[in-house]
Amino acid sequence: MTTRLLPAILYDVLDNLKNDYKQRSSIEELLLSLNSIFGPVLTERALELIDDESVFLIQSQERYIFQVVGSRGDIYTIMEVSNFCTCDFFKHQVLKDRALCCKHFLAAKVAFILGNFKTKSETPGSVTSILLCAYGNQEIK
Ligand SMILES: [Zn+2]
CA–centroid distance, residue 108 to ligand 1 (Å):
10
User: Cβ–Cβ contacts within 10 Å for residue 72, how many?
Assistant: 5
CA–centroid distance, residue 31 to ligand 1 (Å):
20
Q: pLDDT band at residue 2, thresholds of 50, 70 and 90?
A: very low
Q: pLDDT band at residue 135, thresholds of 50, 70 and 90?
A: confident
CA–centroid distance, residue 105 to ligand 1 (Å):
6
For residue 136, the model assigns a pLDDT of 79
CA–centroid distance, residue 86 to ligand 1 (Å):
6
Q: Per residue in 39-71, is it b (16+ CB within 10 Å) or e — as a string?
A: eeebbebbbebbeeebbbbbebeeebbbbbbbe
Closest CA to 51 of 114, 120, 105, 119: 114
Q: Which residues pair with 77 in a beta bridge?
A: 67
pTM of the model: 0.89
pLDDT in tens, 32-87: 999 999 999 999 999 999 999 999 999 999 899 999 999 889 999 998 888 899 89
Q: Is the separation of the CB atoms in 68 and 56 below 8 Å?
A: yes
CA–centroid distance, residue 94 to ligand 1 (Å):
9
CA–centroid distance, residue 121 to ligand 1 (Å):
23
Q: pLDDT band at residue 139, thresholds of 50, 70 and 90?
A: low
CA–centroid distance, residue 101 to ligand 1 (Å):
8
With 90 as the cut, is the pLDDT of residue 17 above it? yes
